[in-house]
Chain A
Amino acid sequence: MSSLDWIVLVTTLVSIVAYGLYRSRGSNTVDRYLLAGKSMPWYAMALSIMATQASAITFISTTGQSYVDGMRFVQFYFGLPLAMVILCATVVPVFHHTRVYTAYEYLEKRFDAKTRVLASIVFLCQRGLSAGLTIYAPALVLSVILGWPERATTAMMGATVVTYTVLGGIKAVTWSDVQQMAIIFVGLVISLVTVILLLPASVSFGDAVYLAGAAGRLNAVTTHFDWNDRFNIWSGLIGGTFLFLSYFGCDQSQVQRYLTGKSIAQSRLSLLFNAVAKIPMQFFILFIGAMVFVFYLFVQPPVLFQRIELKRIAGLSEFQPMSEQYQRAFEHRKQAALDLVEAHRAGNTPAENRQKAEYRAAQKELDAVRSNAAQLVESTGGEKGFSDTNYIFLSFVTRYLPSGIVGLVIAVIFAATMSASSGEINSLATVTVIDIYQRHIKRHQSDRHYLLASRWFTLFWGVYAVVFAGWAKRLGSLIVAVNKVGSLFYGSLLGCFVLAFLFPKVRGTAVFCGMLAGEAAIFATAWFTDVSWLWYNVIGCAVVVAVALGITFGAPGTTSALPDTQPQE
């Protein structure tokens, strides 16, 4: 990185912390520290919700996904507007009217204390695991691309996040999220414009879009149904709806954002903004990946974008013929692409069809070499299931974008990491204080006591996230499994809330048993089948509801709350 890049990066990080702390003045009660005194406008909540959901790996991975597999990942978000409408009509007013700090506090009001504790523990396990990975994953990519030590990157991002999250509470988190989203938008627009400007003079923007489409990179909708396929319109609409209902309705990291609203209408507007803006935003990010693909039609990309693994296998005898074949395949594809554009411009349909077949065959040849190289990495001691998707976009940025823009894009990665991480740390601390500490450990203490406890628990979860991120490397390929951890827990949480809202006769013990059965069903599905993780939420939710209803109507004697349940203050 050049000096200008460093200036852009450091200025951005300092301004994020300063702005967040400036806007968080007066967070001196628990209500203000954890819920911003219910004073936030809809646009701040909306951008904070968006920023919390979009981690750095979302931006890095999504563009790479589009480069490799096209734009069909956008279908994952088709369930989002449906989920938002359901939540606005049901959950949002109930959470506000019951005057809760956390989603799980509501479960005690509706069921009993043990259901609240179980849901809180499920949340702490799931979010606690992902908190470290949110910081670790981009640190790993930056270390490979820029050669920065992972621990230094992790510590730098962690220290920045912990500082403003501990000092400023949710107000600092929300307002810094707003600023981070603005940086992310600017960075992405500049990235797309730069990619298009870097295309050869003989290739227009229209030609670039045409070439991306001809290579199957603009496949935004696939109507084919397959249980094992993560991204098609059906998994997006059904699985996606359940996932987003769980995420925005039962995950405190999101619930806490819209509980800060100064009115129910403001909270609803913040969610509906996401319902409207998220799909175009993801489409835009994926489109950047498709344009990077077109850029690499004319500039030879490396065989693998993960340079450390590439360097390792480059010395092997098996790699030499692969490299030569890759060079030939690239030249073949480049020529085929130029000929295809020529035929398309001339309106010569038979020639266009012929060239298209040629172009696709060359692409297949190139993909085959990349696949063989990935297998070589695996077979010579590399990571199992090796993939370089997460390295494609940043590798492009650091090699071809001009000085200053590189710093801005790295700042985008930092901003996205910090916004996702601060939301997680803040919500973990809130659940620990409200649902565990204040409810079961230290009752009837002063507001000042709980404010201090909130700050200490925020610090604890921040340090935990950084330490876990430093340790995450030892997980190796397990990281992929841990990344799916959200879907392992969301389904049963959602089932619990569905019962709370839709089935007034169901009581705590039935829900408690249902949640345990739901978790067992999800783990069994994950362990014994190839069903895509997007469906875990549907399966978990269905099992929780079915078991709880079975207990309620099959054995009515077990449906009352246990006698040890204490009413909450």
Chain B
Amino acid sequence: MPHTRDVPDEAPPFLRTWRRVYTATLIYLALIIFVCYLFTRFYR
């Protein structure tokens, strides 16, 4: 059975490098946890 074909690696469509995209994702996570925390506090 033939192997699957290899696929190219490309730069992300935004923020230029993958490292920046990952950092943005982690900042987003921190923000969303903070928003959830504020939401909990506000409506407790």
Contacts and interface: CB of A to CB of B under 8 A. Distances in A.
Contacts of B22: 85, 88-89
A142 to B, nearest CB: 32
A218 B3 contact: no
Contact of B4 (A78, A100, A265): A100
Interface in A500-555: none
A31 interface: yes
B36 A93 contact: no
A101 B29 CA distance: 32
A236 B17 CA distance: 28
Contacts of A30: 1
B10 to A, nearest CB: 4
B43 A85 contact: no
A269 interface: yes
A372 B36 CA distance: 33
B36 A74 contact: yes
Interface string A79-114: 001101100110001001101110000000000000
Contacts of A84: 25
A213 interface: yes
Task: Give the dominant DSSP class at A's interface.
Answer: helix
Contacts of A276: 25, 28
Interface in A229-262: 233, 259, 261-262
Interface residues of A, number: 51
B7 A264 contact: yes
B2 A447 contact: yes
A264 B1 contact: no
A88 B12 CA distance: 12
Contacts of B2: 31, 447
A450 B43 CA distance: 58
A68 interface: no
A89 B6 contact: no
Nearest to B41: A221
Nearest to B1: A450
A265 B11 contact: yes
A218 B18 contact: no
A178 interface: no
Contacts of A569: 1
Nearest to B38: A221
Contacts of B18: 88-89, 268
A212 interface: yes
Contacts of A420: none
Contacts of B26: 81-82, 85
A264 B36 contact: no
A81 B1 contact: no
Interface string B33-44: 100110110111
Contacts of A82: 26, 29
5 contacts: A30-B1, A78-B33, A82-B26, A101-B4, A221-B36
- The list of the 9 closest CB pairs from A to B, nearest first, reads A213-B43, A265-B10, A220-B36, A81-B29, A218-B43, A264-B9, A99-B3, A221-B37, A85-B22
Interface of A: 30-31, 35, 37-38, 74-75, 78, 81-82, 84-85, 88-89, 93, 96-97, 99-101, 209-210, 212-214, 216, 218-222, 233, 259, 261-265, 268-269, 272, 275-276, 279-280, 283, 438, 445, 447, 450, 569
